[in-house]
């Protein structure tokens, strides 16, 4: 199966394949991997019709010609269902397309289906979907990570070339690590959120998952940029991510209390140390730097993100659109029963936590204080980037864990995001690269972060590091 867009373009150019044959192959793979539960809906006839249309296009082909993409079930696509993995939006059909979908289609991408995810992107294992868990293709007894687990598995099992996920606290990078693919979270505001069903608006970002850094960079090049529908989207010019190179020796910071954190798996620690040693042997400068806020990352993230979720999810009330309880008889019961029956347990937990921290008696004690710590985090990370090009740390503290292993302990599940939430809290770009594997052959992702709007530099350096990947030699 093709691993990169360049391979596909070369095969099309030589007559080895065409788009109809390519889409047919992906549809066959999707069918044979139905047990993984990655796709909630496959646009088979539509994808074949678009492939036939594009096969007849001999001139003026878009930059994504030959790229088959699947999208997470919280990204709107006009005339198609979108549910955010929740019963409360079951059967809802979007009346408009997200900005990212419009831009991908304009460059001749083919969208092949929508992908399973944790309900409203709340989860680290893809076990919270109303439509059942997604299974890791390398070991079906293990989770793929979350919330973009379906997006990671779709690429992992060659059911599409590239997928789109959303990253609120690591929801692209953590599943990328568990599934052995490249997962990229852009600088906050680099990609429009228009058409993304919100979880936490000051954290959410759409990003790509793929087998190669080059493909992620190309998709980012198409998606990024200002958008009149999203005032938070940056108006900075979009660099040529796909051609960017980083040819000098890098200065890389390793945050104290991360690689040697008590909660890290021994294989993840040893593989991270191996990558650090290899970087040093290549002449890069690696230094440990003080960072005394590690223990605050998860509490601050969950206080702030659940507060925003509490506000964002208030619209799902059984009145405006979506699920309405058939047992409701008057206004109060419409709200109570519709939300009780429509939302899953994890979403309810986070709404209640968010409502609590925003309440009059606790706002200053929790929400206001968490905002102050977020500002401190931003200041510390900006200070580090004055002296270093990148920050390196593991993507996740463990390899993919077993299904059901952490569901009884929410705190342990939340700690799966300990290395990824930092990038969302301070708005910097971050990438997970499949550079290592465990003794069992399970993927281990290594994460790199760069300063805000240094996405191009991050892509350039990542291309060099991917030459070391033990998963895709």
Q: Kindly state the tokens that stand for 210.
A: 């793929």
Asked, for residue 328, whether it belongs to a domain, the answer is no
Which of 254, 252, 250 lies closest to 264, judged by CA?
A: 254
Asked, for residue 55, whether it belongs to a domain, the answer is yes
Q: In the chain, which stretches have pLDDT less than 70?
A: 470-473
Long-range contacts of 357-361 (CB under 8 A, 24+ apart): 357/303, 357/306, 357/307, 358/307, 358/310, 358/311
Q: Is the peptide bond before 355 cis (omega within 30 degrees of 0)?
A: no
- Alpha carbon separation from 162 to 16, 67, 214 (Å, rounded): 21, 7, 11
**What are the catalytic residues?**
72, 147, 171
Q: Which domain holds residue 459?
A: 5-246+428-468
Token look-up 């044959």 returns 21
CATH code (residue 82)? 3.90.1300.10
Sort strands 39-42 and 110-115 into parallel, antiparallel or unpaired.
antiparallel
Asked, for residue 169, whether it belongs to a domain, the answer is yes
| 119-152: pLDDT as tens digits | 999 999 999 999 999 999 999 999 999 999 999 9
Asked, for residue 329, whether it belongs to a domain, the answer is no
Number of structural domains in the chain: 1
What is the pLDDT at residue 243? 95
What is the pLDDT at residue 342? 96
Q: Give CA–CA dist 199/424, Å, rounded.
A: 13
Asked, for residue 157, whether it belongs to a domain, the answer is yes
Chain-centre distance for alpha carbon 237? 23
Sort strands 68-72 and 110-115 into parallel, antiparallel or unpaired.
parallel
Which of 222, 229, 275, 218 lies closest to 252, judged by CA?
A: 275
Asked, for residue 369, whether it belongs to a domain, the answer is no
Q: Kindly state the tokens that stand for 253.
A: 């910071």
What is the pLDDT at residue 472? 47
Asked, for residue 86, whether it belongs to a domain, the answer is yes
pTM above threshold 0.85: yes
What is the pLDDT at residue 467? 87
Asked, for residue 236, whether it belongs to a domain, the answer is yes
φ, ψ at 250 (rounded to 5°)? -90, 150
3-state secondary structure of 151: helix
């Amino acid at each position: 199966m093709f691993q990169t867009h360049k391979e596909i373009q070369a095969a099309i150019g030589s007559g080895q394949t065409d788009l109809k044959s390519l889409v047919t192959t992906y549809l066959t793979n999707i069918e044979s991997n139905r047990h993984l539960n990655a796709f909630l809906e496959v646009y088979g006839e539509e994808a074949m019709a678009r492939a036939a249309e594009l096969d007849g296009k001999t001139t003026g082909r878009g930059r994504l010609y030959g790229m088959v993409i699947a999208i997470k079930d919280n990204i709107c696509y006009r005339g198609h269902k979108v549910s955010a993995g929740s019963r409360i939006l079951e059967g809802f059909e979007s009346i408009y397309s997200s900005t990212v979908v419009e831009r991908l289609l304009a460059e001749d991408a083919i969208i092949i289906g929508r992908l399973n995810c944790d309900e409203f992107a709340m989860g680290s294992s893809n076990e919270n979907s109303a439509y059942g868990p997604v299974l890791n293709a390398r070991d079906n007894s293990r989770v793929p990570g979350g919330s973009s687990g379906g997006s990671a598995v779709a690429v992992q099992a060659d059911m599409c070339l590239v997928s789109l996920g959303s990253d609120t606290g690591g929801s692209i990078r953590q599943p990328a690590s568990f599934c052995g693919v490249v997962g990229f979270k852009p600088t906050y505001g680099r990609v429009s959120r228009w058409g993304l069903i919100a979880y936490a608006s000051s954290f959410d970002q759409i990003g790509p998952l793929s087998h190669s850094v080059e493909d992620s960079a190309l998709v980012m090049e198409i998606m990024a940029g200002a958008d009149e529908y999203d005032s938070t989207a940056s108006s900075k010019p979009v660099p040529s991510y796909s051609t960017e190179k980083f040819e000098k020796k890098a200065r890389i910071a390793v945050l104290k209390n991360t690689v040697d954190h008590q909660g890290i798996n021994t294989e993840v620690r040893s593989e991270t140390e191996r990558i650090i040693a290899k970087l040093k042997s290549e002449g890069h400068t690696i230094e440990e730097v003080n960072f005394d806020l590690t223990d605050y990352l998860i509490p601050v993230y969950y206080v702030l993100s659940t507060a925003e979720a509490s506000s964002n999810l208030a619209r799902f009330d059984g009145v405006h659109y979506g699920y309405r309880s058939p047992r409701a008889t008057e206004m109060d019961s419409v709200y109570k029963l519709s939300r009780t029956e429509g939302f899953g347990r994890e979403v309810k937990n986070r709404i209640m936590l968010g409502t609590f921290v925003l309440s009059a008696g606790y706002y200053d004690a929790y929400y206001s204080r968490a905002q102050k710590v977020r500002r401190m985090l931003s200041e510390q990370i900006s200070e580090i980037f004055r002296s270093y090009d990148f920050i390196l740390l593991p993507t996740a503290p463990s390899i993919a864990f077993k299904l059901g292993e952490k569901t009884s302990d929410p705190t342990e599940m939340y700690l799966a995001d300990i290395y990824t939430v930092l990038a969302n809290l301070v708005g910097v770009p971050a990438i997970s690269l499949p550079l290592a594997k465990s003794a069992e052959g399970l993927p281990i992702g290594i994460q790199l972060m760069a300063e805000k709007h240094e996405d191009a530099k991050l892509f350039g350096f990542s291309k060099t590091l991917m030459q070391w990947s033990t998963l895709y030699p």
